[in-house]
Amino acid sequence: MQFLKKYLFIICLAIIIFPKQVHGSSLMEVPSSFQFPSVTLTGETQDVQGGGGRIVVGDLLGLLENWRVTVQAAPIRQVGGTGITLPIGSLQLNGPSAGNNTYAHYIKEGSPWIIDRGEPVEILNNGLLVLGIGTIYSFDFGYDPFQLTIPSGTKLIDSGQESADYETTITWTLISAGVL
């Protein structure tokens, strides 16, 4: 009897949605697009890690403005095929390491954040702690901050197929509450 392995391939695309500059602040860098490794489905719930990078916010004018960064992932959908969608809550983002970030007090509590639940999740907030003109705020996520949970008992591959590709879009947004 021949054993066929079933593979699940996930692609996450990072898209930056923001004005080029929000008053004096700008979102200069976010984790880029990445691929989770292929997964051989076992019938059990499986977790897969992937991605990496950092977020960089530049306060180039030092205007004493409150800014925050949100992240949101679209539903994770099968590419082609019948359009199977993974359940909401399948994609999480672990917060940046506080030990590696000078601005750790800007990181919102609650990590890991579920980012595919249909609404933006606030992950950073400067709380009006402005250091002055030309400050660059960098938040390092390290390696594999994204975790995909593949639930057991969920049909993920169309009948007659041996593999399926899935994708999502991750949107990072810089929001400003304005200048004091």
pTM value? 0.81
Q: Which residues contact 18 (CB under 8 A, 6 or more apart)?
A: 26, 27, 172, 173, 174
Least confident of 11-15, 104-108, 114-118, 158-162: 11-15
- CA–CA dist 157, 37 (Å, integer): 16
Chain-centroid distance of CA 145 in Å reads 8
Residue 156 phi, psi dihedral angles, 5° rounding: -120, -10
Domain ranges of the chain: 7-179
Predicted confidence at residue 171, as pLDDT, reads 92
Lookup: tokens for 4 = 């066929």
Q: Which residues contact 77 (CB under 8 A, 6 or more apart)?
A: 83, 84, 85, 86, 166, 167, 168
Lookup: tokens for 160 = 């007659």
**Please, which pLDDT band fits residue 4 given cuts at 50, 70 and 90?**
very low
Q: Is the dihedral of CA 119, 36, 108, 68 positive or negative?
A: negative
Question: Mean pLDDT throughout 70-98?
Answer: 90
- Give tens-digit pLDDT for 125-168: 877 555 556 677 788 888 899 999 998 888 888 888 888 899 99
Q: What is the DSSP string of 52-82?
A: EEEEEEEESS---EEEEEEEEE---EESSTT
Question: Mean pLDDT throughout 70-82?
Answer: 92
Predicted confidence at residue 87, as pLDDT, reads 93
